Amino acid sequence: MNIYLVRHGQSEGNIDPTIYTHTADHAIPLSDLGREQAKEAGQFLARHLEIRDGGSPESIRFWTSPYSRARETANVMRAQFGAYHTDIREHINLCEQQFGLFDGIPEDELAERFPEEHAHYEKCERHEGRFWARMPLGESRFDVAVRVHQAFGTFHRDADKHGVNDIVVVCHGVTLRAFVMQWLHLTVEWFEAEPNPVNGAIRLIENGVDLGYLWPE
């Protein structure tokens, strides 16, 4: 089974953080550039699959985070595939890290608006490391890794029972890194050293081997 991990295209929140003050994180759409990134990523992946498979349509399934920016990325990418896809489905375990009390608040305002909670989070981050520190009323990166792992049975069933050879997973930066870490049994240290991919990036895990980012080239 080949797994293509895709970070959503640039969102409106990536270019204007104030949007978080009036729009829920899950509802933030792609920017114009983000839609173009999704289109280019879809065109690249369609070419990649066609070249690899000699032009024969493969059984391909898209799995996407339910967040608007991921849904939109998946739909724009899928539109570039023509006959080279089966369907598209959502999995809530692929969503963005939950920031809880800090969601939508500019980082430089956290200490003033939530002094006790921010001080506690910073203490945990210093003492335990960012991977383990849980956002107040939200998730740690550890939590993200656990819930991403819970989705793996779905992908194995796609391959074992439904003949899906290529799975395209459209999600978020932290979620994507957590997926790679858990699928390949990598360490917390690997996760903390691994940077987030750029928007629209495509990473391939081919039969259990990490081949890194294919796109952008």
Among the listed residues 8, 85, 91, 118, the single catalytic one is: 8
**Assigned token pair, 107:** 């980082």
Among the listed residues 12, 58, 72, 96, the single catalytic one is: 96
**8: annotated active-site residue:** yes
Q: What is each CA distance from 47 to 54, 72, 149, 168, 214, in whole angstroms?
A: 10, 20, 30, 14, 12
Q: Please choose, from the candidates 184, 138, 159, 186, the residue with its C-alpha nearest in 3D space to the C-alpha of residue 58.
A: 159
CA Rg value for the chain = 18
Element holding 37 (H helix, E strand): helix 32-52
For residue 213, give every residue at least 6 positions away whose Cβ sits within 8 Å of its Cβ, in sequence order, or none.
197, 201, 202, 203
Query: Which residues are bridge partners to 60 per DSSP?
Result: 166
- Catalytic residue positions, numbered: 8, 96
